[in-house]
């Protein structure tokens, strides 16, 4: 199930990856206007009491933009990894550096305001990848990607500033666009090695001391065609995938929008082998021109959630917590555990009580903090929540 849902995530985000590598603008992330930040959450979905609700959180991404619409920070969190990048631009708004949380970085070199090279270094400052760009014309060029050892990894060909062909080793992808420069078809052909065959070959090599079975392995030729259809606002409404070893996959998306025309809820239904899988994406969008944010409250959750998630709740507590003076003077520290019920009707909190206290003044402050919280995003039923509030002297 998890693999299928990640496949849906990949299907519906690859269109944002076909832009030139130096382009990090709002439009590449299906955003417009004076957006300052957006937090996106991908959930698996399921039917409960005849209603579609969120099930498990798959991934959270955060994008932050400057007032010119340039991406300046990106963060991704899921069960397998945590990535965080910062982006630096020159006076002409050209991307010149990406710095990552793990210590790796990429530098962008220009000549006459045109990108000519990208170097990517790992955390040990060793060159891992280099991209060189020779031009046929200002809008037609090729990005040639090399591994750290100088061997060629692949080529990406652009015409009229649009990616038309991508070759990585033995795999080729062609991109086709309509008159409005919208991607409408993706054709892939390549070689795929079955991982079961790989594991079997390694086991035989280990048992017999003969690696010829590994060296002689050949992948199977595969191909696929992906067709995209858009709604009246220019967002993908349907994607149909056909090809080798598939009876056909159809993914259909429906959207809800905020007052500025940006979508804040996307529900994707993937049909595969006569089964339906659901992916629910929620976006909390903040704008420079308004202190208010566009938040979706249109989908029910299996579990209630603080607006913006756990990170936002932690920030709320840290910003509003008042350390009792009596506890400071006596050097008292600790965690107060508080439970409460989130109403299924409107997300309001009730039955707030201390489950595990430290000091009476600390307990009162913990109750005050929880009582002052904004309404939560409600679940399909009244939901009991338990949180710990930490008091620590600096």
Residues 228 and 267 in one domain: yes
CA atoms within 13 A on the CB side of 264: 18
Residues 262 and 185 in one domain: yes
Residues 65 and 203 in one domain: yes
Among candidate residues 192, 198, 187, 241, the one with its CA nearest the CA of residue 219:
192
124 in any annotated domain: no
147 in any annotated domain: no
SS3 275: strand
Sign of the alpha-carbon torsion through 181, 183, 188, 192: positive
154 in any annotated domain: no
Beta strands 127-132 and 135-137 are unpaired
Q: How many of the other CB atoms lie within 10 Å of CB of 92?
A: 8
36 in any annotated domain: yes
13 in any annotated domain: yes
Residues 328 and 234 in one domain: no
39 in any annotated domain: yes
Tell me which of 261, 279, 301 is where a domain ends: 301
Give the domain extent around 382: 309-391
Residues 339 and 193 in one domain: no
Tell me which of 270, 301, 332 is where a domain ends: 301
225 in any annotated domain: yes
Please give the DSSP secondary-structure letter assigned to residue 29. G
Q: In sequence order, which residues have a C-beta less than 8 Å from that of residue 28 and are 6 or more positions away? A: 16, 19
155 in any annotated domain: no
Among candidate residues 360, 288, 279, 367, the one with its CA nearest the CA of residue 326:
360
Residues 370 and 249 in one domain: no
Among candidate residues 220, 240, 219, the one with its CA nearest the CA of residue 229:
240
Tell me which of 301, 324, 343 is where a domain ends: 301
pLDDT of residue 191: 76
pLDDT tens across 319-362, in order?
999 999 999 999 999 999 999 999 988 889 999 999 999 999 99
Residues 69 and 195 in one domain: yes
Residues 214 and 329 in one domain: no
Q: Concatenated DSSP letters for 338-373? A: EEEEE-TTT--EEEEEEEE-S-HHHHHHHHHHHHTS
Residues 265 and 344 in one domain: no
pLDDT of residue 298: 59
CA distance 195 to 177: 34
Q: Which H or E element spans position 256? A: strand 249-257
The CATH number assigned to the domain holding 350 equals 3.30.2420
CA distance 382 to 123: 47
Question: Does residue 279 contact residue 44 with C-beta atoms inside 8 Å?
Answer: yes
Residues 233 and 318 in one domain: no
Among candidate residues 109, 101, 100, the one with its CA nearest the CA of residue 130:
109
Question: Does residue 82 contact residue 100 with C-beta atoms inside 8 Å?
Answer: no
CA distance 204 to 47: 45
Residues 78 and 194 in one domain: yes
Angle 37-38-41 from CA coordinates, rounded to 5°: 155
Q: How many domains are contained in the chain?
A: 2
User: 128-135 long-range CB contacts below 8 Å, 24 or more apart?
Assistant: 128/104, 129/153, 131/21
Write out the chain's pLDDT in tens, 394 residues. 444 444 444 444 444 446 788 889 998 899 999 999 999 999 998 887 777 888 888 899 999 999 999 999 999 998 888 999 999 999 999 999 999 999 999 999 999 999 999 999 999 999 999 999 999 999 999 999 999 999 999 999 999 999 999 999 889 999 999 998 999 999 999 876 555 554 555 555 555 555 454 455 456 788 889 899 999 888 888 888 888 755 667 888 889 888 889 999 999 888 877 788 899 999 989 999 876 666 655 566 778 888 877 888 999 999 999 999 999 999 999 999 999 999 988 889 999 999 999 999 999 999 999 999 998 888 877 889 999 999 998 7
Residues 180 and 316 in one domain: no
Buried b (16+ CB within 10 A) or exposed e, 317-352: beeeeebbeebeeeebeeebbbebbbbeeebebeeb
């Amino acid at each position: 199930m998890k693999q299928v849902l990640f496949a849906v995530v990949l299907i519906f985000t690859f269109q944002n990856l076909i832009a030139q590598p130096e382009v990090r603008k709002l439009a590449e992330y299906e955003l417009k206007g004076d957006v300052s930040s957006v937090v996106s959450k991908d959930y698996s979905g399921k039917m409960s009491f005849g209603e579609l609700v969120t099930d498990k959180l798959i991934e959270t991404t955060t994008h932050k933009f400057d007032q010119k619409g340039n991406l300046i920070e990106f963060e991704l969190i899921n069960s397998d990894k945590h990535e965080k990048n910062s982006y630096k631009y020159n006076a002409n708004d050209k991307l010149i550096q990406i710095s990552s949380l793990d210590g790796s970085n990429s530098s962008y070199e220009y000549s006459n305001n045109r990108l000519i090279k990208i170097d990517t270094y790992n955390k040990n400052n060793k060159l891992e990848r280099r991209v060189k760009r020779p031009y046929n014309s200002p809008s037609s060029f090729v990005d040639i990607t090399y591994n750290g050892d100088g061997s060629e990894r692949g080529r990406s060909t652009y015409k009229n500033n649009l990616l038309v062909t991508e070759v990585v080793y033995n795999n080729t992808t062609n991109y086709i666009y309509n008159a409005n420069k919208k991607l409408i078809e993706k054709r892939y052909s390549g070689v795929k090695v079955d991982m079961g065959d790989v594991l079997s070959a390694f086991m035989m090599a280990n048992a017999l001391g003969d690696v010829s079975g590994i060296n002689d392995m050949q992948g199977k030729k595969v191909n696929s065609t992906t067709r995209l259809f858009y709604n009246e606002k220019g967002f993908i409404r349907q994607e149909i995938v056909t090809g080798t070893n598939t009876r056909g996959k159809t993914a259909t998306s429906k959207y809800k929008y905020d007052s500025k025309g940006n979508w804040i809820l996307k529900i994707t239904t993937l049909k595969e082998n006569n089964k339906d899988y659901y992916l629910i994406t929620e976006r909390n969008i903040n704008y420079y021109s308004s202190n208010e944010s566009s938040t979706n409250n249109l989908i029910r959750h299996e579990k209630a959630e603080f607006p913006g998630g756990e990170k936002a709740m932690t920030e709320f507590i840290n910003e509003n917590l008042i350390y009792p003076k009596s506890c400071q003077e006596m050097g008292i520290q600790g965690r107060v555990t508080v439970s409460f019920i989130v109403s299924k009707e409107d997300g309001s909190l009730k039955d707030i009580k201390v489950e595990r206290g430290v000091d009476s003044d600390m307990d009162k402050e913990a109750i005050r903090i929880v009582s002052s919280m904004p309404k939560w995003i409600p679940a399909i039923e009244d939901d009991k929540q338990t949180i710990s509030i930490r008091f620590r002297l600096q």
